[in-house]
């Protein structure tokens, strides 16, 4: 007669597999919940930072002010960001990621370079107005923004989007042939600096600022050296 443990050989294998399958599900759920918590904490920190910057101004705001507004422990904050500057950089990156598809949509709608320029400048100005609009009364909009200029992958993507869009417009024959890298840099620089001045005014005049920026670029374009035909 075979030993009892050999007669019951298949049973231990079945008993071993069942707990293993059951143990994977809670682990997956735990990992998913952990990632959700991380995402919520990051969002809470950035939302609190925007509100603090709006009320106190970027220069006067501190990490402690941001942490106090989130309701999170200080240790939790430092799991995500090491400084106020890192928080501001994250906010800027988030803005750039949201701005890029807006600029791309205007590229698709443009009939010529002037309509493209009008579209992206006005869209950009409206974007920064909405993005900096206070959740409650505070300092002037221009004082809420970080004075540090961040160069992040998201910002590089926005620059690349503008440059590639200008190049596409040029290939369509909708604008004189000029250096697209210079023209993109000029467009971004003019829009950014005039946008800062626009935010500092009360009331904000989006149409006036956009008309000035677009006219400045278009009227300067005839004087720009032309590229030789390919």
Residue with the larger pLDDT of the pair 177 and 35: 35
**Residue 144, phi then psi, degrees to nearest 5:** -85, -20
Domain regions of the chain by residue span: 16-78, 88-223
When pLDDT is averaged across residues 109-124 and rounded to a whole number, the result is: 88
**Integer CA distances (angstroms), 140 to 87, 112, 158, 212, in order:** 20, 36, 26, 22
pLDDT of the residue at 159: 76
pLDDT tens digits, one per residue of 68-79: 999 899 999 999
Q: Report the distance separating Cα 32 and Cα 69, nearest Å.
A: 26
- The architecture (CATH level 2) of 16-78 comes to Orthogonal Bundle (1.10)
Asked if the domains 16-78 and 88-223 are classified in one and the same CATH topology, the answer is: no
pLDDT digits (tens, 9 = 90+) for 43-61: 999 999 988 887 888 888 9
Quickly name the fold that domain 88-223 has: Tetracycline Repressor; domain 2 (1.10.357)
> For residue 83, what are the contacts with CB-CB under 8 A and spacing of at least 6?
63
pTM of structure: 0.69
pLDDT of 179 strictly over 80? yes
The answer to whether 166 touches 183, Cβ cutoff 8 Å, is: yes
* Residue showing tokens 């998913």: 32
- What distance in Å separates the CA atoms of residue 149 and residue 90, rounded to the nearest whole number? 12
Higher model confidence: residue 199 or residue 12?
Answer: 199
């Amino acid at each position: 007669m075979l030993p009892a443990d050999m007669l019951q050989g298949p049973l231990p294998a079945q008993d071993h597999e069942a707990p293993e399958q059951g143990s994977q599900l809670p682990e997956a759920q735990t990992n998913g919940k952990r990632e959700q918590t991380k995402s919520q904490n990051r969002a809470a920190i950035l939302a609190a930072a925007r509100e603090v910057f709006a009320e106190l101004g970027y220069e006067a705001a501190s990490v402690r002010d941001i942490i106090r507004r989130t309701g999170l422990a200080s240790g939790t904050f430092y799991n995500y960001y090491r400084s106020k500057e890192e928080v501001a950089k994250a906010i800027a990156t988030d803005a750039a990621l949201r701005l890029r598809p807006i600029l791309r949509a205007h590229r698709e709608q443009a009939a010529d370079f002037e309509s493209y320029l009008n579209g992206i400048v006005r869209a950009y100005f409206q974007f920064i107005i909405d993005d900096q609009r206070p959740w409650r009364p505070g300092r002037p909009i221009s004082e809420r923004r970080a004075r540090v200029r961040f160069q992040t992958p998201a910002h590089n993507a926005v620059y690349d989007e503008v440059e590639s869009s200008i190049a596409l417009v040029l290939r369509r024959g909708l604008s004189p042939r000029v250096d697209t890298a210079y023209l993109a840099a000029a467009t971004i620089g003019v829009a950014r600096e005039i946008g800062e001045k626009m935010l500092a005014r009360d009331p904000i005049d989006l149409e006036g600022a956009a008309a000035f920026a677009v006219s400045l670029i278009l009227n300067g374009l005839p004087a720009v050296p032309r590229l030789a035909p390919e």
